[in-house]
Amino acid sequence: MSDLYRSAMHARIAKLPQLPPDLPGEEDEDEDEGSEAADTIGALPSLSTRHPTPRVPRTPNPEYAPLSGASFFSEAVQVNVPASKLDVRVYYTPPQTADSSPGSVMICHHGAGFAGLSFALFAKEVTKLSKGELGVLSIDARRHGKTMPTEESSDEDLSLEILVQDLCNLLQVVFPDTTAAPSLLLVGHSMGGAVVVDAVPHLLEARYRVSGVAVLDVVEGTALDALPHMPAILNSRPEGFDSVSDAIEWHITAHQIRNILSARVSVPSLVIPTPEPRVRGARAFTWRTPLHTTGPYWEGWFRGLSASFLAARTARLLVLAGTDRLDRELMIGQMQGKFQMVVVPNTGHMLHEDDPWTLAQTLVEFWRRNERVIVGIKKVGDL
């Protein structure tokens, strides 16, 4: 194994899931239906008629039972966004201000394959630490979670340009009057980091006040280096699950998420009932967003991210799950003091789920420092 391949496979910032273990009961399933082993002499059936024993679905483990996200946000609503032809699922806790000011709202955009509830525990901690002054709005992107297309339109396009348009269109529906809109702190994880960074100039042009942008666990150089190996990694993921609890358990045992409580809230929105009719042996639940179908967009998400991040005309924060090497542009930018960087130890790629408490402290401090800056005075990162 080359050093490049080993580095990419083990990079904490790879943006897509690590190699997971097989689910119990995966081996030898449907070996007579087109597997490579079926083409070998050893796999030939005997002359007698074969009657394969049906696979018995796994019994759900109560330790991994799904949890509602109702206690983590004030409301969950579907927002019709005509400009994007989407019915967008939004999880929202509005800011509580002492006066009539619009306050501030943190806008959270998830990564590829995940959903808005991945910020559930984090959002509740933000509300607690800010004493309700900082609201939180977390969304399900197109082809993710409970966001659905309208007008019989297609939601297949996951290009960066379309995702940025979706976010801006949504905010224009939720906060139509820019003079009365709250200030916006944009937070994006992985793919979502690219979306919020590219959204900054569009929102500023529309006269929204953007107090900062935070990117969670994504570095352009490392992401691009890892992309060629992603198909092999994704092929090792299970195609489905016997139950939602089964999906939650897999995310924990495969170390995709290290916080059981967070996984019990966020994972249910990542899977859907397998469409009928199911092929023999298919699991009862399948992925809401099959990541292998998003391959054509991977490079577009991350190419140019560092330059766009450094050019954003607002305060900038990069939060990493480990001491991953910055690419050249970010390294120079850091030396020039163009952004703040924080490392959250003992976390994986889903750092906002693994340690929502530490991340909330970091983001609330970042918000307080930049929200108090008098208009016209440079913010952190505006050099």
What whole-number distance in Å separates Cα of residue 260 and Cα of residue 278?
A: 30
Give the model's confidence band at 367: pLDDT under 50 very low, under 70 low, under 90 confident, else very high: very high
The average pLDDT across 328-347 equals: 95
- Kindly report, residue by residue over 188-214, the tens digit of the pLDDT: 999 999 999 999 999 999 999 999 999
Given a cut of 90, whether residue 314 has pLDDT beyond it is yes
Q: Which residues contact 381 (CB under 8 A, 6 or more apart)?
A: 312, 314, 315, 316, 338, 339, 340
CATH entry 3.40.50.1820 includes domain 75-226+295-371:
yes
Q: Where are the domains of the chain?
A: 75-226+295-371
Q: Name the more confident of 60 and 296.
A: 296
- Kindly report, residue by residue over 22-42, the tens digit of the pLDDT: 444 444 334 334 434 333 333
Query: Nearest to residue 356, comparing CAs of 274, 257, 221, 248?
Result: 257
What integer pLDDT is reported at residue 60 of this predicted model? Answer: 80
Q: What single letter denotes the amino acid at residue 47?
A: L
- Residue pair 258/118 in contact by the 8 Å Cβ criterion: no
- Kindly report, residue by residue over 259-284, the tens digit of the pLDDT: 999 999 999 999 999 987 677 778 99
Name the residues annotated as catalytic: 190, 217, 349
- DSSP letter string over 172-235? HHHS--TTTSPEEEEEEETHHHHHHHHHHHHHHHTT--EEEEEEES--HHHHHHHGGGHHHHHH
Give the model's confidence band at 69: pLDDT under 50 very low, under 70 low, under 90 confident, else very high: very high
Q: Name the more confident of 54 and 73.
A: 73
Please report, in angstroms and rounded to a whole number, the separation of the first and last CA atoms in the chain.
43
Tell me if the bond preceding 277 is cis, omega within 30° of 0.
yes
What integer pLDDT is reported at residue 4 of this predicted model? Answer: 36
At residue 230, what are phi and psi to the nearest 5 degrees?
-65, -40
What integer pLDDT is reported at residue 371 of this predicted model? Answer: 83
Work out the burial of residue 156: count CB atoms within 10 Å of its CB; fewer than 13 is exposed, 13-18 middle, 19 or more buried.
exposed
Most confident of 23-27, 160-164, 323-327: 160-164
What whole-number distance in Å separates Cα of residue 79 and Cα of residue 263?
A: 25
What integer pLDDT is reported at residue 64 of this predicted model? Answer: 97
What integer pLDDT is reported at residue 276 of this predicted model? Answer: 79
At residue 215, what are phi and psi to the nearest 5 degrees?
-110, 125
- Residue pair 91/120 in contact by the 8 Å Cβ criterion: yes
Query: Nearest to residue 86, comparing CAs of 152, 15, 16, 174?
Result: 152
Q: b/e for 224-253, b at 16 or more Cβ within 10 A?
A: bbbbebbeebbeebbebbbbbbbbbbbbbe
